Amino acid sequence: MLGRPPRLGENDAVSNRGQTATLDGRHAPLSLWDAEPGTHLCALYSGPAELDQTAAAFVGSGLAAGDRVLYVASDRLEAQVHTALEAHQVPAGPAADRGQLVIRDFATAYGEPGQLDLDQMAADFRTAARQARADGFGALRVAAEMGDFAAAVGSVDRLLDWERLCTPMQHEEGITSVCQYDQSRFGDAAAQIAAEHAGIAPDHVLTPPVQFTATTDPWGLAISGELDLASRPVFLRVLGARLAAQPSLHLDVSGLIYAEAAALGVVYQAAAGLPADGGIVVTGAPYQLRRVIDLAGFDHPQVIID
């Protein structure tokens, strides 16, 4: 394996800040990066600073996992969302350029307020999830600024109907979401709204151990950071999605600082399912990584270490 430096604060105790809180006060793992596809989260914020912090944590984690992120802005311009995300070190511009971050206004995402059809809205999100996978992304994540959603759909009861409709739909399509509600707009109804979600999204998250960046020229995937066994499910999902869209792929591993053989095995597992004209070209592999591959006995005619 590649040499592994210690992670910052690795041996320190970690506080609950940044954890995904469930409604009974317990906490889920300190990660959105490897969240189970289909997770339906809520964020109750007070003021734009809290909104931006929670949005950045969610969007940044989704981009690092190689997923497409759809950001639905209620009353902000696309440029304002870009600026807010980049202020929190989320690479919104590059992600938008490669089609991984998509920002839509309320009407484009849902329809005109006062004329919303809940079933049609759900169908549109199903289509968006399938399109994300067809475009070579591992899954779809949605960060939605809910604004005054109750007025848009007609009542708080219809809003709750929408949230109840979303949970099974998201599980079926593998859509992970955070619905961002301004507490000042919903008052006592905020608790009811939160109860229709799996938990409360964190406003801070741990830095993902590894980042998967979709590339288009050449078509492929760039990996940076530490690729360990825990990263394997996310790697398998995003690599499979890239290959499903185009079966010939460049895998740039020049940014890896650590890799476990079991995680690297995903490459050869994926190669076994390629058509005859498909292939994976691994670029930027240092000597240590080549040595891991040799010692593990990995070999496949459609995997080329360049």
Bond before 218 cis per omega within 30 degrees: yes
Residue-level pLDDT at 2 = 54
- C-alpha span between 242 and 65 (Å, rounded): 13
Provide, for the chain, the percentages of residues in helix, strand and coil under a 3-state DSSP scheme, each rounded to the nearest 5: 40, 25, 35
Asked if the model's pLDDT at residue 16 lies above 50, the reply is no
Q: What is the pLDDT of residue 18?
A: 40
Average confidence (pLDDT) over 162-166: 94
Give CB contacts under 8 A, 24+ apart, made by 188-191.
189/150, 189/156, 190/44
Q: Return the CATH architecture of domain 210-305.
A: 2-Layer Sandwich (3.30)
pLDDT at 6: 33
Residue count (the chain)? 306
Which residues sit opposite 280 in a β-bridge? Answer: 249, 303
- Tell me the domain boundaries of the chain: 24-200, 210-305
Averaged pLDDT score across all residues of the chain? 87
pLDDT digits 0-9 by tens, 239-254 = 999 999 999 999 999 9
Least confident of 108-112, 209-213, 215-219, 275-279: 108-112
Percentage of the residues of the chain whose pLDDT score is greater than 90: 69
Question: Domain 24-200, what architecture?
Answer: 3-Layer(aba) Sandwich (3.40)
Q: What pLDDT shows up at residue 14?
A: 27
Over the range 204-221, which residues count as b (16 or more CB within 10 Å of their CB) and which as e? ebbebbbbbbbbeeebbb
Does residue 4 surpass a pLDDT of 60? Answer: no
Predicted confidence at residue 23, as pLDDT, reads 44
Is the pLDDT at 13 greater than 70? The verdict is no
List of residues 6+ apart from 48 with CB closer than 8 A: 84
Q: Is 164 left (phi over 0), alpha (psi -120 to 50) or beta?
A: alpha
Per-residue pLDDT band at 17 (split at 50, 70, 90)? very low
Q: What is the pLDDT of residues 126-136, one digit of tens each?
A: 999 999 999 99
User: Per-residue pLDDT averaged across 64-78, rounded?
Assistant: 92
Backbone φ and ψ of 142, nearest 5°: -125, 125
Residues 190-206: tens digit of each pLDDT = 899 999 999 999 888 88
CB 234 within 8 A of CB 33: yes
Tokens of 276: 């005859």
CB 68 within 8 A of CB 213: no
Question: If you average pLDDT over residues 16-43, what whole number do you get?
Answer: 65
Mean per-residue pLDDT for 172-199? 91
Terminal-to-terminal C-alpha distance of the chain? 19
* Nearest to 226, CA basis, from 245, 210, 208, 250: 210
Separation between Cα atoms, residue 168 and residue 283, nearest integer Å: 40
Distance (Å, whole) CA 142 – CA 160: 18
What is the arrangement of strands in the sheet containing 248-259, beginning at the earlier edge strand?
Answer: 210-216, 219-227, 248-259, 279-283, 303-305
Predicted TM-score (pTM) above 0.75: yes
Q: Which of 26, 20, 41 is nearest to 180 (CA)?
A: 41
3-state secondary structure (DSSP) of residue 8: coil
